[in-house]
Structure 1
Amino acid sequence: MQTGRMRSELISVAGDPARPDEDYAAVGLPASGQGGSLVVLDGVTPPPEPAGCLHSVPWFTARLGGALSELSVSRRDLTLQEVLGRAISRTADAHRATCDLSHPRTPQATVVLARWSPDSVEYLVLSDSVLLTESPSGAVVPVLDDRLSLVPRAALTSHAVTDATLRNKEGGFFTAAADPSVAARAVTGTLPRAAVRSLTALTDGATRWVEKFRRGDWADLHALVREEGGQALIDRVRALETADTDREFLGRSKRHDDATVVHIEL
């Protein structure tokens, strides 16, 4: 899609065609082309046992994503952390009366949120989705919330330990669930609009190309998306996943994960 000088691409592919895509993505580009926003969420797949909620992860990501899209545009007086906190509260209120929101596996998601105006580009990242910023010179800088990668691998192999002591806990990692205070944990920043040529947001199903299969760095991934498109990146990831029959790279991870790529040229 193009608006004035701006160009955007959004692609999201489910990891399993028999299951709904738990990612969410949206781009808002006003007709003036002077400002806009992007939202990318990666819904956390719940375990098979009951988690105290009547609603699916896609229900949750659609509600949270819609609130983020609306608030980031309508409430420009709010910081992105405040936008995220209010969106979490609004979404929690939508099922507070029917669901146990205190359960550690209540529906939740990683977050990438960006908003730009003629003067500035604001960004927010929570958990292991990634935002890439590209400067006019072509330098690509990843915005990462690396807390999950710092959790000891031995702890992550235990489902019980992850739920009890790591998810949305000190010393662990944080996702957007039902507690609005988690917004204060997000990685945030603001750049001059003139310093940003493009933004690329990706869920970890797409970042596997760098983080698991190590086929290039972030600049290489950005170049692939810019030159061939988000679908080309996802196609390459799927081929690598299928070829990894010995799970040399995937380890205990699911074979195919939902993968989302949003690319905006400002």
Structure 2
Amino acid sequence: MRTEVVSEPGDPSRPNEDFAGVGLPACGQGGCVIVLDGVTPPKGDTGCLHSVPWFTARLGGALTELTVSGRDLTLSEILSRAIRRTADAHATTCDLSHPRTPQATVILARWSQKSLEYLVLSDSTLLLRSPDGTVTPVQDDRLSRLPRSALATDALVDATVRNREGGFFTAAADPEVASRAVTGTVPRTEVRALAALTDGATRWTEKFHEGDWPDCFEVVRKEGARSLIERVRALETADREARVRLGRSKTHDDATVVYVEL
């Protein structure tokens, strides 16, 4: 099995808010991938004493332990337990009901000799490549389906669509959000390789339209995960048109790519 993990902050002077990990159980059978994209809050109160990297490190650590050891648990159950464990770590010091309490997008993938399970929550992307080369994206597209008017300001997002019915969901402090994730299982023989990408890396396809998902996957497979991120950085800094395509998004975002050949 070949694995590659690359994660780069959008701004070298700021901590990377992403989390990435690959787990290989001691039994030598199967494995897992965990990728989190911490949600950068706007300036102002979040109700929490802790940073987004603090949150993603603890949620990512809990997910890694539970995904590797909890083979009897579904990925939704694992996410629910990990959220609860993380919330309990700061419930006595922080207001976890605040809409901007630390939160993250989630990708989980776990495979055995028989099957591959996946879970995606919010706007990170999981790509599955079959033995015949077909690339299938697994996405939670609720955020992208919202009208621009619903996302006009941070205050409007927090009041009307963040972690609300008819809006979109992230992993924050409510374990019940795990039931909102996109989940599924495919036979292990139908997946030759996978790539998990935060939206800082998927900009190559989603923002700059340099290629479709199979093209994006081939860049990672043939040139490496770092090459995809380098391509994104070049596009972000190229010209004024980049700023138009990015809209309200920050010029450079944390970017993470995990690649696994099974």
Normalising to structure 1: TM-score of the pair? 0.96
Match 2:121 to one of 126, 130, 136: 126
Q: Which residue of 1 aligns with 2:18?
A: 23
SS at match of 1:16: coil
1:214 aligns with: 209
Unaligned residue ranges in structure 2 (runs of 5+):
none
Cα distance between partner residues in 2 of 1:57 and 1:133 = 28
**What is the CA distance between 1:34 and its match in structure 2?**
2.4
The 5-angstrom pairing of residues 76-115 of structure 1 reads 76-115=71-110
Equivalent runs, 1:244-263 vs 2, <5 Å: 244-246=239-241, 247-263=243-259
Q: In the TM superposition, what are the counterparts of 1:62-77 in structure 2 within 5 Å?
A: 62-77=57-72
Aligned residue in 2 for 1:13: 8
Question: In structure 1, what is the equivalent of residue 143 of structure 2?
Answer: 148
Distance, in Å, in 1 between the alignment partners of 2:72 and 2:139 is: 25
Displacement of 1:153: 0.7
Identity of aligned residues (%): 72
Question: Are 1:201 and 2:180 counterparts?
Answer: no
Shift of 1:30: 3.9
Aligned-residue CA RMSD in angstroms? 0.9
SS at match of 1:243: coil
Supply the distance in 2 between the matched residues of 1:26 and 1:85 (Cα, whole angstroms): 18
CA shift for structure 1 position 248: 2.6
Q: Residue 157 of structure 1 aligns to which amino acid in structure 2?
A: A
Following the alignment from structure 1 to structure 2, what is the Cα–Cα distance between the partners of residues 161 and 39?
Answer: 30
**Structure 1 residue 89, shift from structure 2 partner:** 0.2
- Post-superposition shift, 1:212? 0.3
Deviation string, structure 1 residues 79-120 (Cα, Å, up to 9, x no partner): 000000000000000000000000000000000001011111
Q: CA deviation at 1:223?
A: 0.3
> CA contact under 8 A between 2:219 and 2:228: conserved in structure 1?
yes
**Residue-by-residue CA offset, 1:48-89 (whole Å, 9 max, x unaligned):** 101110000000000000000000111111100000000000
Q: Normalising by structure 2, what TM-score?
A: 0.98
**Equivalent residues of 1:112, 1:123 under 8 A apart:** yes
Amino acid at match of 1:125: V
CA distance in 1, matches of 2:57, 2:27: 26
User: C-alpha distance in 2, partners of 1:31/1:17?
Assistant: 35
Do residues 136 (structure 1) and 131 (structure 2) align? yes
Separation (CA, whole Å) in 1 of partners of 2:180 and 2:101: 19
Provide the secondary structure at the position in 2 that maps to 1:38.
strand
Contact 2:111 2:188 in 1 (8 A): yes
- Secondary structure of 1:154's aligned partner: helix
What CA distance in whole angstroms lies between the structure 2 residues aligned with 1:226 and 1:33?
24
Per-residue deviation, residues 115-148 of structure 1 (Å, max 9, x unmatched) = 0111110000000000000101110000010000
Q: What amino acid does structure 1 have at the position aligned with 2:228? A: L
Which residue of the other structure, out of 138, 156, 159, is the alignment partner of 1:164?
A: 159
Quote the Cα distance in structure 2 between the aligned partners of 1:193 and 1:141.
Answer: 14
AA in 1 matched with 2:260: I
Number of aligned residue pairs: give it.
Answer: 261
SS in 2 for 1:183: helix
Write the distance in 1 (CA, Å) between the matches of 2:239 and 2:253: 14
Alpha-carbon shift at residue 31 of structure 1 (Å): 6.0
CA contact (8 A) 1:244 1:250 kept: no
Retained in 2: the 8 A contact 1:15–1:256?
yes
Q: For residues 31 and 226 of structure 1, do their structure 2 counterparts lie closer, same or farther at Cα, with a shift above 3 Å needed?
A: farther
Cα offset for 1:32?
A: 5.9
